[in-house]
Amino acid sequence: MSGCLFGLALICFVIGFVQLVAPDPAKRKQAAVAPAPRGEFRPAAPAPVREAVSPAAPLTTGGSVNMKLQKLDWIKVGQRIYTKHPVKGELMSHVLGRIVYAELWQQGSGPQVPWTPTGNIFAGFWLEGDLFLLNWQNRFYLLDEGVELSDAEIQRDFLPHARKFAQSNQTADVYFAYPPAMWHIDDIGKFRVEKTEGEGLRFRPGAIGRFIHATGEGGRALVVEDYEGGGGGQDTAWTGYTLVEEDIKPT
């Protein structure tokens, strides 16, 4: 009998001890939702934010593009080349200088819309004998006469026709007279001079200008360059003839 009483006393002691050391259920719940003390948890540093580059960012003059010429990339300053002049026949000419043009465009209309490079670049070559060989897209010109223009002459002789062509989204057949022929506008646009090398060129890298390309009877060609701001290039009306790429060969 005394043994049973001893066992019962021992069980009551154990239960009382457990209740004494165990936390209250309300306190356990409060501990579960309590935030961790400050200073014990440090989140990882955020990744650096990269600045987005807009494709319509304003054009910076004087920059360069690391792209391959679309055509005539084999012509170097100092070498000699053959060109087939429609009137004078085959000519062998020394390449005196080269100019690289970047084609520009607007993503929308309006004076506030920036002009940006299309990614296409083309070349012109100053040849001995006062010849200027120019490539633009799939067109080739051998120009043998250049007339310097004033702003007043450009506004009088060319601007109205270029504006009419532009207003038609470059689809209208626009003809105009300018000595020594009647001309049909084939293309208008804007460019930036990316690079010049050699001699005989009246341009500076970074110069921005507009162009008119036109053709006349008998393969005649007219190229008008109108530079912005002055000093970057000489406004000029070039006349000459159209060529095909096969008319231009190395010696």
209, 132 in Cβ contact below 8 A? no
pTM of the complete model:
0.72
Q: What is the pLDDT of residues 124-145, one digit of tens each?
A: 999 999 999 999 999 999 999 9
CB 140 within 8 A of CB 122: no
User: Within a 10 A sphere around the Cβ of 184, how many other Cβ atoms?
Assistant: 15
Longest pairwise C-alpha distance within the chain = 140
Domain coordinates in residue numbering, the chain: 80-250
Convert the pLDDT of each residue in 25-56 to its tens digit.
444 333 333 333 333 222 222 223 222 222 33
Task: Tell me how crowded residue 121 is: count the other CB atoms within 10 A of its CB.
Answer: 22
Cα 149 to Cα 220: distance, rounded to the nearest angstrom: 20
C-beta of residue 32 within 8 angstroms of C-beta of residue 25: no
DSSP state of 12: H
